A = this chain, B = another copy of it.
Amino acid sequence: MSSERTTGQAGEFELIERYFAPLAAKTEGAFGLHNDAAVLPLVAGERLVATVDTMIKGRHFLDCPPDLVARKLLRVNLSDLAAMGARPFGYLLASAWPLDVEESWIAAFAEGLAADQAIYGVALYGGDTTATPGPMTLSLTAFGRLGGAAALDRGSVRPGDDFYVTGTIGDGYLGLRVLRGELEGLPAETQAALVARYRLPEPRLLAGQALLAEGIARSALDVSDGLAADLGHLLEASGVAAEIDLASVPMSAAAAQSLALGGDPPELLLTGGDDYELLFASDPSQRDAVAALSQRLGLPIARIGRARAGSGLSLRDAAGAEVVLGKPGWTHF
């Protein structure tokens, strides 16, 4: 792990020793974080998958408890690995801390990482710690393993494929609206449920791994920018069009309550973000396999439409009428 000294308080070396080295203590190849680089463990016949995501204070999070910032940072990366069907094992952390950061904030941040390390079986392998004159900027590179020869590539959707999503759509975005004070009419427990979905996504690792290993899906991604925008990426990469049935897009009870309160139309949920559910495309011959997977995992998986030759997204309501989306994706502003 590389680092820099800062003026005032504990230097970065002390911070690494106190809070980050324990996260790597039992990990061979992490060298107790005192080397310039880490040696990653490989398994014969498997491939290594890598992804990186950045969270910036004021842009990707506001006044969020530090342990939840850490866990979301890790989980959005694990969600990317889930979309590839990979099994996570480790990560690097590049952190840029403002000069006035409280040491207790960093301590709680490291506790959040420790909690999710235990849940997901991952370990810290190294990183970079620096100070920044700007907002706290946290960049995490996650590593996973992939068996066999295939991967869930975004460019593989074929006309005739079914589209599916796991879980429910829109809760993360509504959680952000709760935090902004826009949904104060909702019951407190509904607000809390939505905020929890925004702050602590659940990467759909088991679903992604099964979609790949069992040959169920051809193509997958995790929904982070909003279902409509991310579906658009899948369509562009594959050179196909999509017909989506709005009534089939799965919505939680909390989301339904929220839409009713604001008088908002259901398509609003497709333009939010922070879902971290999997969107995938499968051959129609896989419908029974998808249903069996859903049951086995105890995870709802909804068929929301189909791919067609052509380009673009066509969204239809229950009566078959075209629905026009206000904006295609969430901008995090």
* Interface residue ranges, A against B (CB under 8 Å): 2, 4-7, 31-32, 34-40, 42, 44, 47-54, 56, 58-60, 79-81, 83-84, 86, 92, 94, 96, 125-128, 130-135, 137, 139, 141, 143-144, 146, 151, 153-155, 221-222, 224-225, 229, 233, 236-237, 329, 331-333
Contacts and interface: CB of A to CB of B under 8 A. Distances in A.
A312 to B, nearest CB: 16
B154 A31 contact: yes
B96 A331 contact: no
A92 B54 CA distance: 12
Contacts of A40: 47-50
B134 A56 contact: yes
B96 A137 contact: yes
A81 B130 contact: no
A4 B32 CA distance: 34
21 contacts: A4-B332, A6-B331, A34-B154, A34-B237, A35-B151, A36-B51, A36-B81, A36-B221, A37-B80, A37-B86, A38-B50, A39-B151, A40-B47, A44-B44, A51-B126, A53-B94, A54-B139, A56-B137, A94-B141, A134-B135, A134-B137
A48 B42 contact: yes
Nearest to A56: B132
Taken together, the copies of this chain in the complex come to: 2
A3 B229 CA distance: 11
A331 B4 contact: yes
Given A38-B49, A51-B37, A222-B36, A56 B130 contact: yes
A84 B83 CA distance: 32
A53 to B, nearest CB: 5
Task: Pick the 6 closest A-B CB pairs, nearest first.
Answer: A134-B134, A37-B51, A36-B80, A34-B237, A139-B139, A94-B139
Contact of A153 (B35, B52, B135): B35
A92 B140 CA distance: 11
A249 B182 CA distance: 64
Nearest to A236: B34
A275 B237 CA distance: 43
A81 B229 CA distance: 37
A126 B142 CA distance: 12
A317 to B, nearest CB: 26
Contacts of A130: 54, 56, 59-60, 332
A224 to B, nearest CB: 7
A47 B56 contact: no
Given A5-B329, A35-B154, A141-B141, A132 B131 contact: no
A237 B13 CA distance: 12
A151 B125 CA distance: 15
A170 B133 CA distance: 26
B331 A50 contact: no
Contact of A128 (B49, B52, B155, B221): B52
Given A4-B331, A135-B133, A139-B139, A48 B37 contact: no
